[in-house]
């Protein structure tokens, strides 16, 4: 079974087998990453972390002893950190332990350093982590830096900043991430030096994430300067981090990313633009939204419409869907027009009323010969959502032609819904009166 299938089925048992026994270090590394992703979801039962054993078929003494000796996923990850011959696998195992809990990190630090962290208070754990930042073994320094980020005490920022010059890039990257978790503005200067001088792509990516987490004006300034990084993967992380700022400053840079040579940079930039609109303070939301729309006039439909429609149809966040619907009415060109139309019509029935209203307003902006026909079909559908049908009638009043005018008259007389009758009559009035036909 492929790793993809194991990931899709959340099969921890077989993923652990791959991590333990595969001869390919790239596959073992990916197995550790997938295990970490599963642990990071937060909905894994502790019983799921215990590996199966054939020795517990009865309740005798031997079975109980076997039960106590059963290995867990955490045991296997700790052993991978200690013993795997490949540094990439060891690093991925540290990250997987981090995604499980601070206790898992304390476990690996304790086993690698010999220090007792059992049930230690946070300040004791922080002191121990800080002490082992100077350890000879890089995996121990990695785990210590990651643990300090989890503790989140700004008093350890200086120790983490010292590790930003560590000889091992894996330690530098995790020290940068830890600085971001702590959100201490004092780390911005050292992080700026690292993102401009470090040759390691993973380190620069980690710094970009950390600056987004810190979120200060200084951090934003460094991220904007890093937009020209030669690595597309670093630019993608920069674009993603810029979405955490709810101000107009990143808009120009993100729009500039829309013609990046790498598709993932372009898509991430569009998602971040929507995030900025969603995160903007209420008193600045109009300014930020208008600035984004103005800048997007220079972008092509191919750069803008596919990611916006994906946000509108798939995002779970109402603010994101609202802003995607709003933008679609202001950036649409002939290319991908059908895609935008279908997404906006579907959004007329969105559970969030504002998303549905923005979708209706954006539909009135489309120059689309197929729009009238689809709106009439939606209005006719007696099994459809009444709010969506009402909004379809509203849009018809803005964009309808002879066909809509001819058909709405009978609809006014035939519908049993007072709300739909009122909306249809309003639309008909805007189109110039009652015609003939059958809707």
Domain boundaries, the chain: 269-367, 369-439
Beta bridge partner(s), residue 72: 50
From CA 56, how far away is CA 120, in angstroms rounded? 33
Same fold for the pair 269-367 and 369-439? yes
CATH number of this structure's domain 269-367, picked from the four choices 1.25.10, 1.10.357, 1.10.3470, 2.60.40: 1.25.10
From CA 254, how far away is CA 200, in angstroms rounded? 24
Q: Please give the backbone phi and psi of residue 50, each rounded to the nearest 5 degrees, phi first.
A: -90, 125
Block means of pLDDT (10 residues each) for the chain, length 439 residues?
A: 84 92 95 92 74 51 45 91 94 93 86 73 78 91 92 90 96 97 96 97 98 97 97 98 92 92 93 89 81 80 87 92 90 78 94 94 87 92 92 93 85 88 90 57
DSSP state letter for 70: -
**Model pLDDT, residue 59:** 41
**Model pLDDT, residue 132:** 87
Q: Which two tokens stand for residue 279?
A: 């995160």
**Model pLDDT, residue 295:** 83
Q: Which two tokens stand for residue 257?
A: 């990313």
Count CB atoms within 10 A of the CB of residue 40. Answer: 13
The angle at the Cα of 157, spanning 155 to 163, to the nearest 5 degrees, equals 140
**Model pLDDT, residue 299:** 77
- At residue 72, the 3 state secondary structure works out as strand
Interaxial angle between packed helices 318-331 and 285-296, expressed in degrees from 0 to 180 and rounded to the nearest 10: 40
Residues 6+ apart with CB under 8 A from 36: 92, 95, 96, 97, 98, 99, 100
From CA 423, how far away is CA 262, in angstroms rounded? 46
Q: Which two tokens stand for residue 90?
A: 């060891």
From CA 282, how far away is CA 279, in angstroms rounded? 9
From CA 63, how far away is CA 56, in angstroms rounded? 5
**Model pLDDT, residue 52:** 65
* Cβ proximity of 274 and 304 under 8 Å: no
**Model pLDDT, residue 33:** 95
Residues 6+ apart with CB under 8 A from 71: 50, 51
**Model pLDDT, residue 238:** 98
* Cβ proximity of 178 and 211 under 8 Å: no
Interaxial angle between packed helices 87-100 and 138-151, expressed in degrees from 0 to 180 and rounded to the nearest 10: 20
The angle at the Cα of 130, spanning 125 to 136, to the nearest 5 degrees, equals 120
**Model pLDDT, residue 211:** 98
The angle at the Cα of 427, spanning 415 to 335, to the nearest 5 degrees, equals 110
Q: Please give the backbone phi and psi of residue 264, each rounded to the nearest 5 degrees, phi first.
A: -65, -30
From CA 83, how far away is CA 37, in angstroms rounded? 22
Interaxial angle between packed helices 87-100 and 25-40, expressed in degrees from 0 to 180 and rounded to the nearest 10: 10
Count CB atoms within 10 A of the CB of residue 322. Answer: 25
Residues 6+ apart with CB under 8 A from 427: 393, 394, 396, 397, 400, 404, 408
Q: At the topology level of CATH, where does 369-439 sit?
A: 1.25.10
Q: Which two tokens stand for residue 359?
A: 């979708």
Q: For the CA atoms of 278, 280, 281, 285, what is the dihedral angle to 10 degrees?
A: -90
Residues 6+ apart with CB under 8 A from 230: none
From CA 156, how far away is CA 149, in angstroms rounded? 9
Sign of the torsion formed by the C-alpha atoms of 354, 360, 363 and 365: negative
């Amino acid at each position: 079974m492929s790793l993809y299938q194991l990931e899709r089925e959340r099969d921890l048992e077989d993923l652990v087998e791959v991590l333990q026994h595969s001869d390919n270090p790239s596959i073992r590394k990916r197995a550790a990453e997938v295990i970490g992703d599963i642990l990071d979801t937060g909905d894994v039962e502790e019983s799921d972390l215990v590996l199966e054993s054939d020795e517990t078929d009865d309740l005798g003494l031997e079975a109980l002893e076997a039960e106590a000796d059963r290995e867990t996923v955490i045991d296997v990850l700790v052993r991978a950190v200690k013993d795997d011959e490949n540094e990439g696998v060891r690093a991925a195992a540290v990250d997987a332990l981090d995604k499980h809990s601070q206790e898992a990190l304390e476990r690996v630090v304790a086993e690698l350093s010999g220090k007792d962290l059992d049930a230690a208070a946070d300040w004791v754990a922080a002191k121990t982590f800080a002490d082992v930042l100077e350890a000879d073994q890089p995996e121990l320094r990695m785990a210590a830096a990651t643990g300090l980020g989890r503790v989140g005490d700004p008093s350890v920022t200086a120790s983490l900043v010292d590790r930003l010059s560590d000889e091992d890039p894996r330690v530098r990257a995790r020290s940068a991430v830890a600085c971001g978790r702590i959100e201490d503005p004092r780390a911005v200067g050292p992080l700026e030096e690292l993102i401009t001088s470090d040759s390691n792509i993973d380190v620069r990516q980690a710094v970009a994430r950390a600056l987004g987490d810190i979120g200060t004006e200084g951090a934003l300034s460094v991220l904007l300067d890093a937009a020209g990084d030669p690595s597309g993967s670093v630019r993608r992380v920069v674009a993603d981090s810029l979405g955490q700022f709810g101000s107009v400053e990143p808009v120009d840079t993100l729009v500039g990313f829309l013609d990046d040579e790498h598709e993932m940079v372009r898509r991430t930039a569009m998602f971040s633009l929507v995030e900025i609109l969603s995160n903007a303070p209420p008193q600045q939301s109009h300014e930020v939204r208008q600035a984004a729309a103005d800048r997007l006039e220079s972008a092509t439909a191919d750069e803008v419409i596919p990611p916006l429609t994906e946000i509108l149809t798939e995002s779970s966040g109402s603010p994101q869907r609202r802003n995607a619907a709003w933008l679609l009415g202001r950036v649409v060109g002939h290319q991908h027009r059908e895609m935008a139309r279908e997404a906006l019509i579907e959004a007329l029935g969105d559970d969030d009323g504002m998303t549905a209203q923005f979708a209706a307003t954006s539909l009135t902006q489309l120059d689309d010969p197929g729009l009238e026909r689809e709106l009439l079909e939606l209005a006719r559908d007696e099994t459809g959502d009444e709010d969506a049908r009402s909004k379809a009638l509203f849009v018809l009043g803005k964009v309808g032609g002879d066909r809509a005018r001819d058909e709405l008259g009978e609809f006014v007389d035939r519908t049993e819904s007072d709300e739909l009758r009122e909306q249809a009559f309003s639309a008909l009035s805007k189109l110039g009166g009652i015609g003939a036909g059958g809707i």
